[in-house]
Amino acid sequence: MSEPIISTVDIVLLIIQEDRLCVTLSNRDKEPYENQDALPGGYIHAQADRDCLDAAVRILQQKTGLLPPYLEQLKTFAGAARDPRGWSISVVYFALVDADLILSATNPGLTICPVDALRRLPFDHNEIIAAAVDRIRNKSQYSSLPCYLAGETFSLPRLQKIYEACLGETLNKVSFRRKMDELGVLETVAGQTESTGAHRPAQLYRLKSEFKNQLKLLVRGL
């Protein structure tokens, strides 16, 4: 039979702040590591949660008060050594959301930290965040994933900055615009604005409604 194993869900909630990829940490209100910042997480409730995604949505709601437009299972971290309480399983999800939604929520226990400037975190949370960054970096190469880090509407120059933050490298402007065009997930919005200064204002775009909650992959032959 199965031994008693601690079963939890943790969430890597990523946002863009000042053109940098950042993770949202939550101050722990219980032992172990009470009062330290760590990934938002919690126990799976076999009574309340129909599946893991349910648990992730519930926990995210409790800790941050929001339902992100993008939520995907990342990986499961398990073993005897990762939690002082003993053998544990953590099913980890990663979520993408517009930074403004978090900042406007003003949840007191939350901290935002750039993923490349993290200090040592409890459990194996540094390793988990590294896996999430790997995943988003990989998917950003051929998908519209980073769009979920932008708000409802955004300019292409801003979206390019977001892609660059995800990928950790600068991109060519013309190539980027061509690629977004051929992905076909964006549409212009009538009023253009985003006039942030003494220069030509940028056209605003939004995700086409049919892509509001899914990935469009660009399939490329071998």
Partner DNA sequence: TCAAGTTAGTTACATTATGCAACTAACAAA
Partner DNA sequence: TTTGTTAGTTGCATAATGTAACTAACTTGA
Residues that bind a copy of itself (CB under 8 A): 1-8, 43-47, 49-52, 73, 75-76, 78-81, 86-87, 89, 91, 140-142, 163, 167, 171, 175-176, 179, 219-222
Q: How far is CA 112 from CA 53, 98, 109, in A?
A: 23, 13, 10
The partner in contact with residue 190, picked from a copy of itself, DNA, none with C-beta cut-offs of 5 to 8 angstroms by kind, is none
Q: How far is CA 95 from CA 31, 92, 139, 156, 172, in A?
A: 25, 10, 14, 22, 27
> Cβ of residue 100: shortest distance to a copy of itself, in angstroms?
25
Contact (Cβ atoms closer than 8 angstroms) between residue 22 and residue 114:
yes
The partner in contact with residue 79, picked from DNA, a copy of itself, none with C-beta cut-offs of 5 to 8 angstroms by kind, is a copy of itself
The partner in contact with residue 47, picked from a copy of itself, DNA, none with C-beta cut-offs of 5 to 8 angstroms by kind, is a copy of itself
Closest CB to a copy of itself among residues 43, 196: 43
CA 64-65-66 angle, to 5 degrees, is 95
Residue numbers of the site for DNA (CB under 7 A)? Answer: 155-158, 172-175, 177-179, 182, 192, 195, 197-203, 221-222
Closest CB to DNA among residues 170, 213: 170
Closest CB to DNA among residues 54, 194: 194
The partner in contact with residue 219, picked from DNA, a copy of itself, none with C-beta cut-offs of 5 to 8 angstroms by kind, is a copy of itself
The partner in contact with residue 101, picked from DNA, a copy of itself, none with C-beta cut-offs of 5 to 8 angstroms by kind, is none
Q: Beta strands 6-17 and 88-96: pairing type?
A: parallel
Report the distance separating Cα 164 and Cα 56, nearest Å.
28
> Cβ of residue 188: shortest distance to DNA, in angstroms?
9
Closest CB to DNA among residues 90, 160: 160
The partner in contact with residue 195, picked from a copy of itself, DNA, none with C-beta cut-offs of 5 to 8 angstroms by kind, is DNA
The position carrying tokens 């994933």 is 145
- Which tokens go with 184? 């076909």
> Cβ of residue 222: shortest distance to DNA, in angstroms?
7
Angle in degrees, 0-180, between the axes of helices 156-167 and 173-183, rounded to the nearest 10: 100
Query: 116-119 long-range contacts, Cβ below 8 Å, gap at least 24?
Result: 116/20, 116/21, 118/23
Closest CB to DNA among residues 108, 221: 221
> Cβ of residue 166: shortest distance to DNA, in angstroms?
16
Q: Please give the full DSSP string across 62-118, using - where no structure is assigned.
A: HHHS---SEEEEEEEEEESSSSTTSSEEEEEEEEE--HHHHHHH--TTEEEEEGGG-
